[in-house]
């Protein structure tokens, strides 16, 4: 009985010796990123002409996130319009995404009324500390700048 199972396992191993391996030696070789690939990072977008951020701190992304990994702190400022009147404007004073528990469901991207948050096609760099996996507003805006420079592709 044991000999038969040993022969079967040896036959399976011998059969797979000459086949192309399924694995890729990752840092050296990278597979192409497919068009519908969602796993990656996030970016905050802004108007390239004015430099003004698109996020209005409505907190819809924070409320819809099933993992509760998004934190948006709202800030307000008075803006003087060309006709001399003042108007209150809201913006994201602080914006954090904690990648440790992100499910990549993309609900935050879909619910954003101003398209301020987008997913990017980027292979994630591993984090060795928990702090490395928490992206703040500046890191997310830098990803937005990389999209404009053509270094990253938004999905």
- Residues 30-84 pLDDT 10s: 777 777 776 778 999 999 998 899 999 999 999 999 999 999 999 999 888 888 8
Range of the domain at 72: 22-154
Tell whether 65 is covered by a domain.
Answer: yes
Q: What is the pLDDT of residues 81-134, one digit of tens each?
A: 888 888 899 999 999 999 888 988 999 999 999 999 999 887 766 678 888 889
Tell whether 8 is covered by a domain.
Answer: no
Give the torsion through C-alpha atoms of 130, 43, 113, 53, to 10 deg: 110
Question: What pLDDT is recorded for position 112?
Answer: 96
**How many folded domains does the chain comprise?**
1
Identify the CATH number of the domain in which residue 62 sits: 3.30.70.3270
Distances (CA, A) of 86 to 51, 58, 75, 83, 101: 21, 20, 16, 9, 41
Averaged confidence pLDDT in the chain: 87
Is 117 exposed, middle or buried (CB count within 10 Å of its CB: 0-12, 13-18, 19+)? buried
Question: What pLDDT is recorded for position 35?
Answer: 74
Question: 147 — phi, psi (to 5°)?
Answer: -65, -45
Tell whether 13 is covered by a domain.
Answer: no
């Amino acid at each position: 009985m044991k000999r038969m199972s040993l022969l079967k396992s040896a036959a399976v191993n011998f059969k797979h010796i000459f086949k192309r391996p399924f694995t890729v030696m990752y840092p050296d070789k990278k597979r192409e990123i497919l068009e519908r690939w969602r796993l990656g990072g996030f970016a905050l977008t802004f108007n390239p002409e004015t430099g003004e951020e698109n996020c209005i701190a409505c907190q819809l992304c924070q409320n819809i996130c099933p993992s509760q990994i998004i934190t948006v702190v709202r800030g307000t400022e008075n803006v003087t319009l060309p006709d001399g009147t003042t108007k209150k404007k809201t913006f994201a004073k602080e914006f954090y995404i904690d990648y440790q528990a992100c499910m990549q469901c993309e609900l935050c991207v879909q619910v954003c009324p101003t398209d301020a948050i987008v997913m990017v096609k980027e292979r994630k760099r591993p984090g060795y500390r928990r702090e490395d996996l928490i992206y703040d507003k500046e890191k997310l805006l830098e990803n937005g700048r990389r999209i404009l420079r053509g270094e990253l592709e938004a999905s």
